[in-house]
Structure 1
Amino acid sequence: MIRPLLFACLLLVGSPAIAQENRVVSKCMAIAQSVPGITYANFTPGWQPVATANEAVTITYAGHSTYLIETPAGVRIATDFSGVYGSEFNPRVVTMNKAHRTHYTDHPPQGIEYVLRGWNPAGGPAHHALTVDDVTIRNVPTDIRHGAAMEKDGNSIFIFEVAGLCIGHLGHLHHRLDNAHYGAIGRLDIVMVPIDGGMTLSVQAMSDITTRLYSSMILPMHRHATPLSVFTRLMGDGFAVDFRSTDTLSVSLKTLPDRPTIVILSGV
Protein backbone atom coordinates (compact mmCIF):
# COMPACT_ATOMS: atom_id res chain seq x y z
CA MET A 1 0.00 0.00 0.00
CA ILE A 2 1.27 3.48 -0.87
CA ARG A 3 -0.39 5.89 1.55
CA PRO A 4 -1.53 9.34 0.29
CA LEU A 5 1.67 10.90 1.58
CA LEU A 6 3.15 13.68 -0.48
CA PHE A 7 6.63 12.72 -1.47
CA ALA A 8 9.10 13.36 -4.27
CA CYS A 9 10.03 10.31 -6.25
CA LEU A 10 13.17 11.97 -7.57
CA LEU A 11 14.46 13.95 -4.63
CA LEU A 12 18.21 14.12 -4.21
CA VAL A 13 19.37 13.16 -0.73
CA GLY A 14 21.56 15.93 0.60
CA SER A 15 20.10 17.43 3.77
CA PRO A 16 22.49 18.26 6.63
CA ALA A 17 21.12 15.37 8.70
CA ILE A 18 22.39 12.85 6.16
CA ALA A 19 25.10 14.72 4.25
CA GLN A 20 27.17 12.32 2.21
CA GLU A 21 30.00 12.12 -0.30
CA ASN A 22 27.87 10.45 -2.96
CA ARG A 23 24.47 11.98 -3.65
CA VAL A 24 21.87 9.34 -4.40
CA VAL A 25 18.35 9.59 -5.72
CA SER A 26 15.84 8.68 -3.00
CA LYS A 27 12.28 7.60 -3.68
CA CYS A 28 11.43 7.60 0.01
CA MET A 29 12.12 11.17 1.11
CA ALA A 30 9.08 13.02 2.43
CA ILE A 31 8.34 16.62 1.54
CA ALA A 32 6.34 18.84 3.86
CA GLN A 33 3.08 19.97 2.32
CA SER A 34 3.87 23.55 3.28
CA VAL A 35 7.07 23.82 1.22
CA PRO A 36 6.43 26.59 -1.36
CA GLY A 37 7.16 26.23 -5.04
CA ILE A 38 7.21 22.44 -5.07
CA THR A 39 5.75 20.31 -7.85
CA TYR A 40 4.91 16.97 -6.30
CA ALA A 41 6.09 13.94 -8.24
CA ASN A 42 3.11 11.90 -7.13
CA PHE A 43 0.39 11.94 -4.50
CA THR A 44 -2.14 9.50 -5.88
CA PRO A 45 -3.27 6.74 -3.49
CA GLY A 46 -2.45 3.33 -4.84
CA TRP A 47 0.20 4.53 -7.29
CA GLN A 48 2.82 1.91 -8.07
CA PRO A 49 5.81 1.96 -10.43
CA VAL A 50 4.92 -0.71 -12.99
CA ALA A 51 8.48 -2.01 -13.28
CA THR A 52 8.81 -2.85 -9.59
CA ALA A 53 5.28 -3.52 -8.34
CA ASN A 54 5.66 -7.29 -8.68
CA GLU A 55 9.33 -7.62 -7.70
CA ALA A 56 9.56 -9.38 -4.35
CA VAL A 57 12.04 -8.83 -1.54
CA THR A 58 12.70 -11.72 0.86
CA ILE A 59 13.08 -10.87 4.56
CA THR A 60 14.22 -13.44 7.13
CA TYR A 61 14.49 -13.03 10.90
CA ALA A 62 17.89 -14.42 11.93
CA GLY A 63 17.88 -13.41 15.61
CA HIS A 64 18.32 -10.49 18.00
CA SER A 65 18.35 -7.40 15.74
CA THR A 66 19.52 -9.18 12.62
CA TYR A 67 17.13 -9.34 9.70
CA LEU A 68 18.32 -10.76 6.40
CA ILE A 69 17.16 -8.95 3.29
CA GLU A 70 17.50 -10.46 -0.18
CA THR A 71 16.74 -8.22 -3.14
CA PRO A 72 15.25 -9.33 -6.48
CA ALA A 73 18.77 -9.12 -7.97
CA GLY A 74 20.12 -11.41 -5.24
CA VAL A 75 21.93 -8.87 -3.06
CA ARG A 76 21.98 -10.21 0.50
CA ILE A 77 22.06 -7.80 3.45
CA ALA A 78 22.33 -8.54 7.19
CA THR A 79 21.33 -5.82 9.65
CA ASP A 80 23.02 -5.12 13.01
CA PHE A 81 25.51 -7.82 12.14
CA SER A 82 27.70 -9.26 14.91
CA GLY A 83 28.63 -12.54 13.27
CA VAL A 84 26.41 -14.50 15.63
CA TYR A 85 23.40 -14.39 13.31
CA GLY A 86 23.31 -14.26 9.54
CA SER A 87 26.78 -15.49 8.60
CA GLU A 88 25.31 -18.63 7.06
CA PHE A 89 23.35 -16.32 4.73
CA ASN A 90 26.66 -15.20 3.15
CA PRO A 91 25.69 -11.53 3.10
CA ARG A 92 27.26 -9.20 0.59
CA VAL A 93 26.40 -6.17 2.73
CA VAL A 94 26.22 -5.85 6.52
CA THR A 95 25.16 -2.91 8.67
CA MET A 96 26.22 -2.44 12.29
CA ASN A 97 25.50 -0.37 15.37
CA LYS A 98 27.86 -0.12 18.33
CA ALA A 99 25.56 -0.04 21.35
CA HIS A 100 26.68 -3.55 22.32
CA ARG A 101 28.91 -6.22 20.87
CA THR A 102 25.77 -8.10 19.88
CA HIS A 103 25.23 -5.44 17.19
CA TYR A 104 28.65 -5.25 15.56
CA THR A 105 31.91 -7.08 15.05
CA ASP A 106 35.45 -5.85 14.53
CA HIS A 107 36.21 -8.98 12.53
CA PRO A 108 33.57 -9.48 9.84
CA PRO A 109 34.01 -12.67 7.80
CA GLN A 110 35.97 -12.47 4.59
CA GLY A 111 33.76 -12.22 1.56
CA ILE A 112 31.53 -9.45 2.91
CA GLU A 113 31.90 -6.73 0.31
CA TYR A 114 30.40 -3.79 2.19
CA VAL A 115 30.68 -3.27 5.96
CA LEU A 116 28.57 -0.25 6.91
CA ARG A 117 29.09 0.96 10.46
CA GLY A 118 26.42 3.18 11.98
CA TRP A 119 29.10 5.31 13.60
CA ASN A 120 32.22 6.98 12.28
CA PRO A 121 35.39 5.60 13.96
CA ALA A 122 37.15 8.87 13.04
CA GLY A 123 34.48 10.94 14.81
CA GLY A 124 31.38 12.80 13.68
CA PRO A 125 28.42 11.20 11.94
CA ALA A 126 28.66 8.20 9.66
CA HIS A 127 27.81 8.92 6.04
CA HIS A 128 26.58 6.07 3.86
CA ALA A 129 24.96 6.45 0.46
CA LEU A 130 25.62 3.67 -2.00
CA THR A 131 23.87 1.57 -4.58
CA VAL A 132 24.62 -2.14 -4.81
CA ASP A 133 23.00 -3.57 -7.93
CA ASP A 134 19.26 -2.99 -7.30
CA VAL A 135 19.36 -1.61 -3.75
CA THR A 136 20.23 1.86 -2.49
CA ILE A 137 21.40 2.04 1.14
CA ARG A 138 21.62 5.19 3.23
CA ASN A 139 21.70 6.06 6.92
CA VAL A 140 20.24 8.62 9.28
CA PRO A 141 22.56 9.19 12.27
CA THR A 142 21.15 8.98 15.79
CA ASP A 143 22.76 9.39 19.20
CA ILE A 144 23.83 6.63 21.56
CA ARG A 145 23.53 6.41 25.34
CA HIS A 146 26.61 5.81 27.48
CA GLY A 147 25.45 5.68 31.09
CA ALA A 148 23.79 9.02 31.81
CA ALA A 149 25.43 10.77 28.84
CA MET A 150 24.61 10.72 25.13
CA GLU A 151 27.19 10.40 22.36
CA LYS A 152 26.10 12.42 19.34
CA ASP A 153 25.81 10.51 16.06
CA GLY A 154 26.96 7.27 17.67
CA ASN A 155 24.54 5.03 15.77
CA SER A 156 22.35 5.03 12.68
CA ILE A 157 18.99 4.12 11.29
CA PHE A 158 19.64 2.31 8.00
CA ILE A 159 17.26 2.60 5.06
CA PHE A 160 17.15 0.22 2.10
CA GLU A 161 15.38 1.31 -1.07
CA VAL A 162 14.70 -1.65 -3.34
CA ALA A 163 11.98 -2.74 -5.79
CA GLY A 164 10.09 0.47 -5.04
CA LEU A 165 9.97 -0.41 -1.34
CA CYS A 166 11.39 1.75 1.46
CA ILE A 167 12.66 -0.51 4.26
CA GLY A 168 13.99 0.91 7.53
CA HIS A 169 15.89 -0.68 10.41
CA LEU A 170 15.78 1.45 13.57
CA GLY A 171 18.83 -0.28 15.07
CA HIS A 172 19.64 0.20 18.75
CA LEU A 173 17.69 3.45 19.04
CA HIS A 174 18.29 5.31 22.31
CA HIS A 175 16.14 8.43 21.98
CA ARG A 176 12.93 9.75 20.50
CA LEU A 177 13.17 11.17 17.01
CA ASP A 178 12.67 14.83 16.18
CA ASN A 179 11.13 16.32 13.05
CA ALA A 180 14.52 16.48 11.32
CA HIS A 181 14.97 12.73 11.80
CA TYR A 182 11.52 11.97 10.42
CA GLY A 183 12.17 14.23 7.45
CA ALA A 184 15.49 12.54 6.74
CA ILE A 185 13.96 9.07 7.05
CA GLY A 186 11.02 9.81 4.76
CA ARG A 187 8.47 7.17 3.85
CA LEU A 188 8.99 3.66 5.22
CA ASP A 189 6.82 0.89 3.83
CA ILE A 190 8.47 -1.63 6.15
CA VAL A 191 10.12 -0.82 9.49
CA MET A 192 12.08 -3.07 11.86
CA VAL A 193 11.52 -1.96 15.45
CA PRO A 194 13.30 -2.96 18.71
CA ILE A 195 10.78 -3.71 21.46
CA ASP A 196 13.02 -4.75 24.37
CA GLY A 197 11.44 -2.11 26.59
CA GLY A 198 14.51 -0.52 28.15
CA MET A 199 17.90 -1.30 26.62
CA THR A 200 16.83 0.82 23.67
CA LEU A 201 13.67 2.79 24.50
CA SER A 202 10.51 2.02 26.42
CA VAL A 203 7.84 0.10 24.55
CA GLN A 204 5.63 3.20 24.81
CA ALA A 205 8.27 5.36 23.11
CA MET A 206 8.81 2.77 20.39
CA SER A 207 5.09 2.48 19.79
CA ASP A 208 4.86 6.28 19.48
CA ILE A 209 7.69 6.31 16.91
CA THR A 210 6.20 3.39 15.01
CA THR A 211 2.76 5.01 14.98
CA ARG A 212 4.16 8.22 13.54
CA LEU A 213 6.11 6.34 10.85
CA TYR A 214 2.85 4.54 10.02
CA SER A 215 4.46 1.88 7.85
CA SER A 216 2.44 -0.75 6.03
CA MET A 217 4.45 -3.52 7.69
CA ILE A 218 6.06 -3.46 11.15
CA LEU A 219 8.61 -6.15 12.02
CA PRO A 220 9.45 -6.34 15.76
CA MET A 221 12.94 -7.39 16.88
CA HIS A 222 15.29 -7.20 19.89
CA ARG A 223 12.43 -8.39 22.07
CA HIS A 224 14.15 -10.11 25.02
CA ALA A 225 11.47 -10.75 27.69
CA THR A 226 8.92 -8.15 26.60
CA PRO A 227 5.57 -9.82 25.92
CA LEU A 228 4.55 -9.19 22.35
CA SER A 229 1.11 -8.26 23.60
CA VAL A 230 2.54 -5.19 25.36
CA PHE A 231 3.72 -3.76 22.06
CA THR A 232 0.68 -4.78 20.01
CA ARG A 233 -1.71 -3.40 22.63
CA LEU A 234 0.06 -0.02 22.69
CA MET A 235 -0.08 0.13 18.89
CA GLY A 236 -3.86 -0.01 19.14
CA ASP A 237 -6.70 -1.24 16.98
CA GLY A 238 -5.47 0.71 13.95
CA PHE A 239 -2.75 -1.91 13.42
CA ALA A 240 -3.48 -5.51 12.50
CA VAL A 241 -1.37 -8.32 13.97
CA ASP A 242 -0.17 -11.22 11.82
CA PHE A 243 1.69 -14.15 13.45
CA ARG A 244 3.68 -16.20 10.95
CA SER A 245 4.75 -19.83 11.41
CA THR A 246 7.97 -19.29 9.44
CA ASP A 247 10.92 -16.94 9.88
CA THR A 248 10.77 -15.71 6.26
CA LEU A 249 8.39 -13.62 4.21
CA SER A 250 8.28 -12.41 0.64
CA VAL A 251 6.90 -8.93 -0.02
CA SER A 252 6.51 -6.54 -2.94
CA LEU A 253 4.80 -3.21 -3.48
CA LYS A 254 1.81 -5.10 -4.81
CA THR A 255 1.53 -7.42 -1.79
CA LEU A 256 1.96 -4.88 1.01
CA PRO A 257 -1.02 -5.14 3.38
CA ASP A 258 -3.84 -2.65 2.83
CA ARG A 259 -3.97 -2.04 6.59
CA PRO A 260 -0.83 -1.30 8.69
CA THR A 261 0.17 -4.70 10.05
CA ILE A 262 2.56 -5.91 12.73
CA VAL A 263 4.07 -9.09 11.26
CA ILE A 264 5.68 -11.39 13.82
CA LEU A 265 7.98 -13.93 12.23
CA SER A 266 8.92 -17.20 13.88
CA GLY A 267 11.74 -16.71 16.38
CA VAL A 268 10.86 -13.16 17.35
Structure 2
Amino acid sequence: MIRPLFALAGLLACVSPAAAQDRRPSHCIALAEATPGMAYVQKASWGDPVAEDSVRITYVDHSVYVIQTEGGLSVATDYNGYLGPEDLVPDVATMNHAHGSHWTPNPDPRIPNVLRGWGDGAGPADHHLDLGEMLVRNVPTDIRQGFGGVEEDGNSIFVFEVAGLCIGHLGHLHHEPNAEQYAALGRLDIVMAPVDGGMTVDIGTMQRIVSRLRSSVVLPMHWFSGYSLERFLEGMAGEFAIERRMESSFTMSLRDLPSRPTILVLQPLVLTGRD
Protein backbone atom coordinates (compact mmCIF):
# COMPACT_ATOMS: atom_id res chain seq x y z
CA MET A 1 0.00 0.00 0.00
CA ILE A 2 1.37 3.43 -0.93
CA ARG A 3 2.00 5.71 2.01
CA PRO A 4 0.59 9.27 1.96
CA LEU A 5 3.80 10.87 0.71
CA PHE A 6 2.39 14.38 0.73
CA ALA A 7 1.85 14.11 4.50
CA LEU A 8 5.35 12.78 5.01
CA ALA A 9 6.81 15.62 2.97
CA GLY A 10 4.96 18.11 5.16
CA LEU A 11 6.31 16.51 8.29
CA LEU A 12 9.87 16.56 7.05
CA ALA A 13 9.56 20.18 5.96
CA CYS A 14 8.83 21.13 9.57
CA VAL A 15 12.18 19.79 10.76
CA SER A 16 14.90 22.42 10.80
CA PRO A 17 18.31 21.57 9.28
CA ALA A 18 19.91 21.83 12.72
CA ALA A 19 17.39 19.44 14.25
CA ALA A 20 17.87 16.99 11.39
CA GLN A 21 21.62 16.97 11.99
CA ASP A 22 21.11 16.27 15.70
CA ARG A 23 18.82 13.30 15.13
CA ARG A 24 19.63 9.88 13.81
CA PRO A 25 17.39 9.42 10.76
CA SER A 26 14.64 6.84 10.89
CA HIS A 27 14.95 3.97 8.46
CA CYS A 28 11.29 3.08 9.06
CA ILE A 29 9.80 6.30 7.67
CA ALA A 30 10.10 5.24 4.06
CA LEU A 31 8.23 3.25 1.47
CA ALA A 32 8.30 -0.41 2.45
CA GLU A 33 10.05 -2.63 -0.05
CA ALA A 34 9.42 -6.33 -0.44
CA THR A 35 11.86 -8.23 1.75
CA PRO A 36 12.21 -11.97 1.13
CA GLY A 37 11.52 -13.79 4.35
CA MET A 38 10.99 -17.16 5.89
CA ALA A 39 7.57 -18.22 7.12
CA TYR A 40 8.45 -19.10 10.69
CA VAL A 41 9.47 -17.54 13.98
CA GLN A 42 11.98 -18.91 16.45
CA LYS A 43 11.04 -20.04 19.94
CA ALA A 44 12.99 -18.38 22.73
CA SER A 45 13.15 -17.91 26.48
CA TRP A 46 13.45 -14.33 27.68
CA GLY A 47 16.67 -15.17 29.56
CA ASP A 48 18.53 -16.72 26.62
CA PRO A 49 21.19 -14.75 24.71
CA VAL A 50 19.66 -12.96 21.73
CA ALA A 51 20.78 -14.28 18.36
CA GLU A 52 22.87 -12.17 16.00
CA ASP A 53 20.99 -9.42 14.13
CA SER A 54 17.81 -10.35 15.99
CA VAL A 55 15.48 -9.16 18.72
CA ARG A 56 13.59 -11.14 21.33
CA ILE A 57 10.06 -10.06 22.24
CA THR A 58 8.39 -11.35 25.41
CA TYR A 59 4.73 -10.79 26.22
CA VAL A 60 4.71 -10.11 29.96
CA ASP A 61 1.15 -8.99 30.72
CA HIS A 62 -1.75 -6.92 29.37
CA SER A 63 0.12 -4.44 27.13
CA VAL A 64 3.57 -4.95 28.62
CA TYR A 65 6.23 -6.40 26.35
CA VAL A 66 9.97 -6.69 26.91
CA ILE A 67 12.10 -6.18 23.82
CA GLN A 68 15.71 -7.38 24.07
CA THR A 69 18.63 -6.89 21.70
CA GLU A 70 21.74 -8.81 20.77
CA GLY A 71 23.86 -6.20 22.54
CA GLY A 72 21.96 -6.48 25.82
CA LEU A 73 19.55 -3.53 25.65
CA SER A 74 16.03 -4.08 26.98
CA VAL A 75 12.81 -2.08 26.73
CA ALA A 76 9.55 -2.46 28.66
CA THR A 77 6.50 -1.14 26.85
CA ASP A 78 3.47 0.46 28.58
CA TYR A 79 5.38 -0.22 31.79
CA ASN A 80 3.15 -0.41 34.87
CA GLY A 81 5.89 -0.93 37.42
CA TYR A 82 5.94 -4.73 37.55
CA LEU A 83 7.59 -7.20 35.20
CA GLY A 84 7.61 -10.17 37.56
CA PRO A 85 9.72 -11.54 40.42
CA GLU A 86 12.83 -11.52 38.24
CA ASP A 87 14.71 -8.27 38.86
CA LEU A 88 15.14 -7.04 35.30
CA VAL A 89 15.88 -3.30 35.06
CA PRO A 90 15.10 -2.22 31.49
CA ASP A 91 17.18 0.42 29.76
CA VAL A 92 13.97 2.08 28.57
CA ALA A 93 10.42 2.08 29.92
CA THR A 94 7.64 3.60 27.83
CA MET A 95 4.33 4.52 29.45
CA ASN A 96 0.84 5.72 28.51
CA HIS A 97 -1.64 7.09 31.02
CA ALA A 98 -5.12 6.41 29.63
CA HIS A 99 -5.41 3.68 32.28
CA GLY A 100 -3.35 2.92 35.36
CA SER A 101 -2.40 -0.50 34.00
CA HIS A 102 -0.22 1.20 31.34
CA TRP A 103 1.96 3.41 33.53
CA THR A 104 3.18 4.03 37.05
CA PRO A 105 3.79 7.31 38.88
CA ASN A 106 6.73 5.64 40.63
CA PRO A 107 8.89 3.87 38.04
CA ASP A 108 11.96 2.04 39.28
CA PRO A 109 14.55 4.81 39.80
CA ARG A 110 17.22 2.52 38.34
CA ILE A 111 15.64 2.77 34.86
CA PRO A 112 17.77 5.31 32.98
CA ASN A 113 15.18 6.27 30.36
CA VAL A 114 11.50 6.64 31.30
CA LEU A 115 9.52 7.89 28.31
CA ARG A 116 6.03 9.20 29.01
CA GLY A 117 3.63 9.05 26.09
CA TRP A 118 1.69 12.16 27.08
CA GLY A 119 2.72 15.80 26.96
CA ASP A 120 3.93 18.06 29.75
CA GLY A 121 1.27 20.74 29.24
CA ALA A 122 3.46 22.75 26.90
CA GLY A 123 3.09 20.37 23.96
CA PRO A 124 2.94 16.70 22.97
CA ALA A 125 5.54 14.19 24.02
CA ASP A 126 8.45 14.22 21.59
CA HIS A 127 10.91 11.36 22.02
CA HIS A 128 13.82 10.51 19.76
CA LEU A 129 16.15 8.44 21.90
CA ASP A 130 19.23 7.09 20.12
CA LEU A 131 20.83 4.28 22.09
CA GLY A 132 23.19 3.30 19.29
CA GLU A 133 21.83 -0.20 18.84
CA MET A 134 18.24 1.03 19.02
CA LEU A 135 16.31 4.18 18.14
CA VAL A 136 13.13 4.87 20.15
CA ARG A 137 10.66 7.46 18.90
CA ASN A 138 6.97 8.26 19.34
CA VAL A 139 3.93 9.36 17.38
CA PRO A 140 1.33 11.14 19.59
CA THR A 141 -2.40 10.35 19.35
CA ASP A 142 -5.45 11.58 21.30
CA ILE A 143 -7.36 9.81 24.06
CA ARG A 144 -10.97 10.05 25.21
CA GLN A 145 -11.92 11.63 28.50
CA GLY A 146 -15.14 11.51 30.51
CA PHE A 147 -18.31 13.21 29.26
CA GLY A 148 -17.16 13.26 25.65
CA GLY A 149 -13.94 15.16 26.20
CA VAL A 150 -10.63 14.56 24.45
CA GLU A 151 -7.09 14.84 25.74
CA GLU A 152 -5.07 15.82 22.72
CA ASP A 153 -1.78 13.93 22.37
CA GLY A 154 -2.55 11.90 25.51
CA ASN A 155 -1.20 8.64 24.07
CA SER A 156 1.89 7.71 22.10
CA ILE A 157 2.53 4.99 19.60
CA PHE A 158 6.15 4.09 20.31
CA VAL A 159 8.40 2.83 17.52
CA PHE A 160 11.57 0.85 18.19
CA GLU A 161 14.08 0.63 15.35
CA VAL A 162 16.57 -2.17 15.99
CA ALA A 163 18.37 -4.89 13.99
CA GLY A 164 16.89 -3.46 10.79
CA LEU A 165 13.37 -4.02 12.13
CA CYS A 166 10.66 -1.43 12.78
CA ILE A 167 8.60 -2.45 15.83
CA GLY A 168 5.52 -0.49 16.87
CA HIS A 169 3.45 -0.55 20.06
CA LEU A 170 0.06 1.13 19.60
CA GLY A 171 -0.37 1.84 23.32
CA HIS A 172 -3.89 2.66 24.54
CA LEU A 173 -5.05 3.81 21.11
CA HIS A 174 -8.46 5.51 21.02
CA HIS A 175 -8.83 6.36 17.33
CA GLU A 176 -7.53 5.36 13.94
CA PRO A 177 -4.37 7.29 13.06
CA ASN A 178 -4.85 10.05 10.54
CA ALA A 179 -2.82 10.37 7.32
CA GLU A 180 -0.06 12.36 8.99
CA GLN A 181 0.23 9.87 11.85
CA TYR A 182 0.36 6.90 9.48
CA ALA A 183 3.10 8.69 7.55
CA ALA A 184 5.04 9.42 10.75
CA LEU A 185 4.86 5.76 11.74
CA GLY A 186 6.29 4.58 8.45
CA ARG A 187 6.92 0.89 7.97
CA LEU A 188 6.13 -1.35 10.93
CA ASP A 189 7.45 -4.89 10.51
CA ILE A 190 6.07 -5.96 13.90
CA VAL A 191 3.15 -4.28 15.67
CA MET A 192 1.57 -4.81 19.10
CA ALA A 193 -2.15 -4.15 18.67
CA PRO A 194 -4.86 -3.83 21.37
CA VAL A 195 -7.84 -6.05 20.57
CA ASP A 196 -10.11 -5.50 23.59
CA GLY A 197 -12.89 -4.20 21.34
CA GLY A 198 -14.00 -1.12 23.29
CA MET A 199 -11.68 0.30 25.91
CA THR A 200 -9.32 1.26 23.09
CA VAL A 201 -11.00 1.05 19.66
CA ASP A 202 -13.68 -1.32 18.45
CA ILE A 203 -12.68 -4.54 16.71
CA GLY A 204 -13.62 -3.30 13.25
CA THR A 205 -11.44 -0.21 13.60
CA MET A 206 -8.49 -2.24 14.85
CA GLN A 207 -8.89 -4.67 11.97
CA ARG A 208 -8.82 -1.72 9.56
CA ILE A 209 -5.69 -0.30 11.24
CA VAL A 210 -3.88 -3.63 11.11
CA SER A 211 -4.87 -4.13 7.47
CA ARG A 212 -3.52 -0.72 6.55
CA LEU A 213 -0.25 -1.16 8.44
CA ARG A 214 0.23 -4.54 6.75
CA SER A 215 2.90 -5.54 9.26
CA SER A 216 4.64 -8.86 8.76
CA VAL A 217 3.93 -9.87 12.38
CA VAL A 218 0.96 -8.69 14.48
CA LEU A 219 0.96 -9.37 18.23
CA PRO A 220 -2.53 -9.09 19.78
CA MET A 221 -2.54 -7.54 23.25
CA HIS A 222 -4.90 -5.88 25.73
CA TRP A 223 -7.46 -8.65 25.49
CA PHE A 224 -9.43 -9.50 28.60
CA SER A 225 -11.21 -12.58 27.36
CA GLY A 226 -11.02 -15.00 24.48
CA TYR A 227 -14.14 -13.43 22.98
CA SER A 228 -12.62 -10.18 21.71
CA LEU A 229 -9.45 -11.95 20.64
CA GLU A 230 -11.39 -14.55 18.65
CA ARG A 231 -13.53 -11.85 16.99
CA PHE A 232 -10.38 -10.06 15.91
CA LEU A 233 -8.77 -13.24 14.59
CA GLU A 234 -11.91 -14.32 12.76
CA GLY A 235 -12.10 -11.03 10.90
CA MET A 236 -8.42 -11.17 9.87
CA ALA A 237 -8.13 -14.85 8.97
CA GLY A 238 -8.58 -14.35 5.24
CA GLU A 239 -5.87 -11.69 5.04
CA PHE A 240 -3.36 -12.88 7.63
CA ALA A 241 -2.03 -16.26 8.66
CA ILE A 242 -2.90 -17.10 12.29
CA GLU A 243 -0.33 -18.75 14.52
CA ARG A 244 -1.10 -19.61 18.13
CA ARG A 245 1.78 -20.26 20.49
CA MET A 246 1.95 -21.55 24.04
CA GLU A 247 5.15 -19.60 24.68
CA SER A 248 5.45 -15.98 25.76
CA SER A 249 8.69 -15.23 23.85
CA PHE A 250 10.02 -15.44 20.32
CA THR A 251 13.10 -14.24 18.45
CA MET A 252 12.88 -12.49 15.10
CA SER A 253 15.30 -11.05 12.56
CA LEU A 254 14.72 -9.10 9.38
CA ARG A 255 15.58 -12.15 7.28
CA ASP A 256 13.08 -14.30 9.21
CA LEU A 257 10.00 -12.12 8.66
CA PRO A 258 7.21 -14.36 7.33
CA SER A 259 6.45 -14.10 3.64
CA ARG A 260 2.74 -13.89 4.47
CA PRO A 261 1.59 -11.38 7.13
CA THR A 262 1.01 -13.35 10.31
CA ILE A 263 -0.90 -12.74 13.53
CA LEU A 264 1.09 -14.40 16.30
CA VAL A 265 -0.84 -15.08 19.52
CA LEU A 266 1.52 -15.31 22.49
CA GLN A 267 0.62 -16.27 26.06
CA PRO A 268 1.46 -13.55 28.60
CA LEU A 269 3.81 -14.57 31.40
CA VAL A 270 5.63 -12.40 33.92
CA LEU A 271 9.40 -12.76 34.12
CA THR A 272 9.99 -15.55 36.60
CA GLY A 273 13.58 -16.65 35.97
CA ARG A 274 16.23 -17.32 33.38
CA ASP A 275 15.79 -21.08 33.07
TM-score bin, normalised by smaller chain? 0.7 to 0.9
* 8 A contact 1:60–1:67 mirrored in 2: yes
Write out per-residue CA displacement over residues 42-94 of structure 1, whole angstroms, 9 at most, x where no aligned residue.
946539xxxxx951100000001001000121110000001133673321100
Question: What stretches of structure 1 of length at least 5 have no aligned partner?
Answer: 32-41, 48-52
TM-score of the pair, normalised by structure 1: 0.84
- Partners of 2:131 and 2:79 lie apart in 1 by 18
Structure 2 equivalent of residue 50 of structure 1? none
How far apart are residue 13 of structure 1 and its match? 11
Structure 2 equivalent of residue 256 of structure 1? 257
Q: Measured at CA, do residues 7 and 132 of structure 1 come closer, stay the same or move farther in structure 2, by a change above 3 Å?
A: farther
Structure 2 equivalent of residue 100 of structure 1? 99
* 8 A contact 2:94–2:117 mirrored in 1: yes
- The reply on whether 1:120 has 2:119 as its aligned counterpart is yes
Structure 1 equivalent of residue 153 of structure 2? 153
Structure 2 equivalent of residue 181 of structure 1? 181
- Partners of 2:170 and 2:262 lie apart in 1 by 17
Question: What stretches of structure 2 of length at least 5 have no aligned partner?
Answer: 38-50, 270-275
How far apart are residue 202 of structure 1 and its match? 0.4
Over the aligned positions, Cα root-mean-square deviation in angstroms equals 2.9
TM-score of the pair, normalised by structure 2: 0.82
How far apart are residue 18 of structure 1 and its match? 9.1
**1:158-177 counterparts in 2 under 5 A?**
158-177=158-177
* 8 A contact 1:138–1:158 mirrored in 2: yes
Moved more, 108-117 or 231-240: 231-240
* 8 A contact 2:96–2:156 mirrored in 1: yes
One of 80, 83, 87 as aligned partner of 1:82: 80
SS at match of 1:183: helix
Q: Measured at CA, do residues 179 and 6 of structure 1 come closer, stay the same or move farther in structure 2, by a change above 3 Å?
A: closer
- Partners of 2:55 and 2:102 lie apart in 1 by 23
Q: Measured at CA, do residues 102 and 259 of structure 1 come closer, stay the same or move farther in structure 2, by a change above 3 Å?
A: same
- Partners of 2:180 and 2:246 lie apart in 1 by 38
- Number of positions where the alignment pairs a residue of Structure 1 with one of Structure 2: 248
The structure carrying a bigger helix percent of its residues is: 2
Structure 1 equivalent of residue 42 of structure 2? none
- Partners of 1:88 and 1:174 lie apart in 2 by 32
**1:1-268 counterparts in 2 under 5 A?**
15=12, 22-31=22-31, 43=33, 45-46=35-36, 55-85=53-83, 88-147=87-146, 148-227=148-227, 228-267=229-268
- Partners of 1:265 and 1:68 lie apart in 2 by 13
SS at match of 2:243: strand
What letter matches 1:237 in structure 2? G
- Partners of 2:14 and 2:99 lie apart in 1 by 24
